[in-house]
Amino acid sequence: MTAATWWAHEARRCGRQAFALPALAALATYAAVATGPPGGTLLGRALLTSALPVGAALAVAATVAREPMAELHLTLPTSYPRTVARRLAVLASFTAVAAGGLVGLLAASGHVVSPAVTLPELAGLTALLGGCAAWATAAIGSAAAASTLVVAACLAKLLLVDRMVPEGFAQALPALVLGAWLTALALRALADGGRLGARQGPEEAR
């Protein structure tokens, strides 16, 4: 299997929602910002910094929860956490392209947007929310719980963090570190069979 075939297979295994959710979030953000005043609005700013990361995080939750026969993967030579990590890498790559396209189109159309500030902030929040989604899905065994955690974290960012921490790298770097740590915890939980036990319940997991 060539590298191209391998990555294409992992992209198919992610499911359509892994690409549809970030793409729709980027399109909705562009439409909201592009139709607003040149100086931007509070709603447009909130969508610009949060909509795409939320869409990507929901796609992460769906990707981690997608595999219906995870116990079979535990018997294969390639570990299940590594397989999930590959799929998350595919999703991260697509999200990065969507973010770059969104910011580039807005800048080219004359809207007030700073790529040097917006792109790191998007990367940081995407990593953080994606890590929350992956951890909640793997450790708790529920994509619904992951979605709730993602929404709560996003609201905390908009209502609290934005008021106390300067935008850009000051927000992006801690979010990247925390997101990477949560993702590592999620992969460890998958390696330990945490999601399987959480989904089966105490009686079935015995």
Q: Indicate the pLDDT class of residue 196, thresholds 50, 70 and 90.
A: very low
Q: Helix crossing, 194-204 with 169-191: angle to 10°? A: 50
Judge whether residue 136 has pLDDT over 70.
yes
Task: State the number of CA atoms in the 13 A half-sphere of 48 facing the CB.
Answer: 31
**What is the residue range of 99's domain?**
3-204
> Which range has highest mean pLDDT (30-44, 101-115, 122-136, 192-206)?
122-136
Q: Residue 71 has which token pair?
A: 């116990």
* pLDDT for position 198: 41
Cα separation, 26 vs 52, in Å, equals: 6
Q: What percent of the chain has pLDDT over 90?
A: 34
Q: Residue 164 has which token pair?
A: 């106390």
Position with higher pLDDT, 30 vs 18: 30
* pLDDT for position 153: 94
H helices of 35-114, in order, are 42-66, 70-73, 80-108
Judge whether residue 205 has pLDDT over 60.
no
Q: Indicate the pLDDT class of residue 155, thresholds 50, 70 and 90.
A: very high
Non-local CB neighbours of 97 within 8 Å, separated by 6+ positions: none
* pLDDT for position 53: 95
Angle at 197 between CA 192 and CA 193, to 5 degrees: 20
- pLDDT, averaged across the chain: 81
Number of domains in the chain: 1
38-52, 76-90, 192-206: range with lowest mean pLDDT: 192-206
Non-local CB neighbours of 58 within 8 Å, separated by 6+ positions: 17, 21, 133, 147, 150
Q: What percent of the chain has pLDDT over 70?
A: 78
* pLDDT for position 122: 93
Judge whether residue 114 has pLDDT over 70.
yes
H helices of the chain, in order, are 3-14, 17-34, 42-66, 70-73, 80-108, 115-140, 143-156, 162-164, 169-191, 194-204
* pLDDT for position 204: 39
Cα separation, 202 vs 198, in Å, equals: 8
